[in-house]
Structure 1
Amino acid sequence: MSVPARRETRGMFPDLFDLFEMPLTALRPFTGQTGQAIRVEDAVEDDRYVVRAEMPGIDPEKDLEISVSRGVLTIRAERQESREGRRHSEFRYGSYERHIRLPENIREDEIKATYDQGIVTITMPLQEQKEATRRVPVER
Structure 2
Amino acid sequence: MSSSLLPRPRALFPGIQDLFEGPWPFGEHNLVRIEDTMTDGKYVVRAELPGFDPEKQIHVTTNAGLLTISAEREEKTKEKGHSEFRYGSFTRTVALPEGADASKIAAKYTDGILEITVPVKEAEKGKSVRIETTKKS
Cα 1:43–1:134, aligned 2, differ >3 Å: closer, same or farther? same
> What is the TM-score of this pair, normalised by structure 2?
0.72
The gaps in structure 1 that reach 5 residues or longer are 1-15
Which amino acid is the alignment partner of residue 75 of structure 1? I
In the alignment, is the contact (CA less than 8 A) between 1:73 and 1:102 conserved in 2? yes
Alpha-carbon displacement from aligned partner over 1:51-107 (angstroms, at most 9, x marks no partner): 000111111111111001110001110011121656221111110111101111111
The count of residues paired between Structure 1 and Structure 2 equals 118
Cα 1:129–1:21, aligned 2, differ >3 Å: closer, same or farther? farther
Q: CA RMSD of the aligned region, Å?
A: 3.0
Q: Tell me, what secondary structure is at the counterpart of 1:23? A: coil
> What is the TM-score of this pair, normalised by structure 1?
0.70
Corresponding residue number in structure 2 for 1:77: 71
Cα 1:86–1:58, aligned 2, differ >3 Å: closer, same or farther? farther
Matches for 1:34-49 after TM superposition, within 5 Å? 36-49=30-43
Corresponding residue number in structure 1 for 2:89: 95
The gaps in structure 2 that reach 5 residues or longer are 1-15
Corresponding residue number in structure 2 for 1:107: 101
Q: Tell me, what secondary structure is at the counterpart of 2:84? A: coil
- CA distance in structure 1 between the aligned counterparts of 2:53 and 2:65, rounded to whole angstroms: 26
